[in-house]
């Protein structure tokens, strides 16, 4: 690898924490990566401000998660006049899954299929196979922009993907012998990819992607009945949100509370502590094993 001075590093803006963390692992000291979404901000309510557009416009590479997650992406790109800016869609060649519970997703792409409206889940990084494809897409962008460091980037990406493979096996082993095969999440619908990958049934209290969409009383009763029916001992809550609904359900049913991190973004404290995609997924596995009563 050639020596790269600070002023020669590739300047990269990544929208969400997964793309930010993946890029850091591939580029290391040859890149200067900044996170568009400030730590502590909930991703689904985020809208880029003029200062964000200026930052993107002055970057060498702009990496976004996917057009169903960042629904504002087309409007933002129309305002970019930096012709040298390389734009990387980290979701290239990834197959999106349909939300299984039938709720409407405010932020999801909608289309007609067999005269039926379906919604696509944008949380692709929670299937580790997709995370590896995102790494490959980011790698391709770095090589295109900086071909002299091609071998360095390829080696780093392979090392990181081997760590993701090991994480995938941790999940398989950790969730292979559990008393329960269903979990309830008092947050927006985010864990469809994870639940499909590891064959766990998943129920979200909120309707769809937006955490601002309040569940109806009928939905709340249904959730409480499911917890009682399956003898669940925990309910999960999401990061960066006050677990008000989880606490209400906990008081009603007597179940405990556990956090399940969708890793859109980190709290300021998590960011300062140096949490990573892998460390947060490992925390998720630990809590899932408790909630699913795994041996």
- DSSP reduced 3-state for 193: helix
In the sheet with 86-89, reading across from the earlier edge strand, the strands are 31-35, 10-14, 61-64, 86-89
Tell me what percent of the chain is helix, strand and coil, each rounded to the nearest 5.
Answer: 45, 15, 40
Tens digit of pLDDT for each residue in 7-22?
689 999 999 999 999 9
**Which burial class, exposed, middle or buried, applies to 28 when counting CB atoms under 10 A from its CB (0-12, 13-18, 19+)?**
middle
**107 and 210 in contact (C-beta within 8 Å)?**
yes
| pLDDT classification of 207: cutoffs 50, 70, 90 | low
Tens digits of residue pLDDT in 112-129: 344 345 689 999 999 999
Enter the pTM of the model: 0.90
């Amino acid at each position: 690898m050639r020596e790269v001075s600070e002023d020669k590093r590739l300047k990269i803006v990544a929208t969400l924490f997964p793309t930010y963390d993946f890029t850091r692992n591939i580029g290391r000291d040859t890149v200067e990566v900044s996170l568009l979404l400030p730590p502590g901000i909930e991703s689904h309510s985020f809208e880029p401000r003029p200062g964000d557009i200026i930052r993107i416009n002055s970057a060498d590479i702009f990496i976004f998660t996917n057009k169903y997650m960042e629904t504002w992406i087309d409007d933002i790109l129309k305002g970019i006049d930096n012709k040298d800016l390389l734009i990387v869609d980290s979701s290239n060649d990834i197959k999106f899954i349909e939300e299984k519970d039938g709720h409407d997703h405010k932020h999801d792409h909608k289309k007609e299929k067999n005269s039926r409206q379906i919604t696509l889940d944008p949380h692709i990084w929670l299937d580790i196979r997709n995370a590896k494809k995102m790494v490959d897409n980011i790698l391709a962008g770095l090589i295109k922009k900086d071909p002299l460091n091609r071998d360095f980037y390829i080696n780093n990406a392979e090392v990181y993907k081997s760590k993701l493979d090991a994480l995938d096996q941790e999940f398989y082993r950790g969730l292979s012998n559990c008393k329960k095969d269903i979990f309830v999440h008092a947050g927006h619908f985010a864990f469809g990819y994870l639940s499909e990958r590891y064959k766990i049934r998943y129920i979200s209290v909120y309707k769809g992607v937006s955490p601002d969409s309040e569940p109806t009383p009928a939905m709340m009763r249904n959730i409480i009945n499911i917890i009682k029916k399956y003898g669940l001992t925990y309910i999960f809550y999401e990061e960066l949100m006050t677990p008000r609904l989880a606490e209400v359900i906990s008081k009603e049913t007597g179940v405990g509370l556990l956090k399940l991190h969708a890793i859109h973004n980190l709290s300021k404290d998590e960011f300062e502590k140096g949490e990573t995609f892998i460390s947060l997924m490992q925390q998720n596995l630990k809590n899932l094993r408790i909630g699913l009563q795994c041996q």
